Amino acid sequence: MIRHCRECRETFAASKAAAFCPGTSCRRDWNNRRQQRGAQLYDVFMTMRGERQLTTDLKNNQGINLWTVACQLAADWKLEDEQQRGGRRSYQFIPDLIKAGKFAYLAAVCVGVDRTGRFSKPVTRKASS
């Protein structure tokens, strides 16, 4: 099957259905960018979720909302993609990944623990189709 590389736009013959790059160089560049961006977003989200008091202090004392920071990072990356990559997506499209079974846990039963240490009601999530 004939495809276009997500990284360099070259046309190539894919031998596997999941192939998105013609070679190692393009795949490495693609994954390095995702790794770098993911690390930045990971730090923001882990601070936001794990350091609640710090997050509140940043918002109240310095006017820094970490959710806004995460959204601004995404907006900056989208602009960078438009300017440097001809508008090609630098991320994997989530609905395609769900269809491919990469997010099977979304249909799992989630059991949480409430503030008192007791188990909360099981919640069944249904994966969107």
Q: Which pLDDT does position 36 carry in this prediction?
A: 94
Q: Which pLDDT does position 70 carry in this prediction?
A: 94
Residues linked to residue 55 through DSSP beta bridges, in sequence order: none
The answer to whether 115 touches 38, Cβ cutoff 8 Å, is: no
Residues 11-30, buried b or exposed e (16+ Cβ, 10 A)?
A: ebeeeeeeebbbeeebbeeb
In DSSP notation, 86-123 reads TT--SS--HHHHHHTTTTGGGGSEE--B-TTS-B---E
Give, in degrees to the nearest 5, the angle at Cα 43 between 84 and 102: 75
Q: Which pLDDT does position 45 carry in this prediction?
A: 93
Counting every residue, how long is the chain? 129
Residues linked to residue 124 through DSSP beta bridges, in sequence order: 109
Ranges of the chain whose pLDDT falls below 50: none
Q: Which pLDDT does position 109 carry in this prediction?
A: 61
Domain ranges of the chain: 2-91, 93-129
Rounded Cα gap, residues 31 and 7, in angstroms:
10
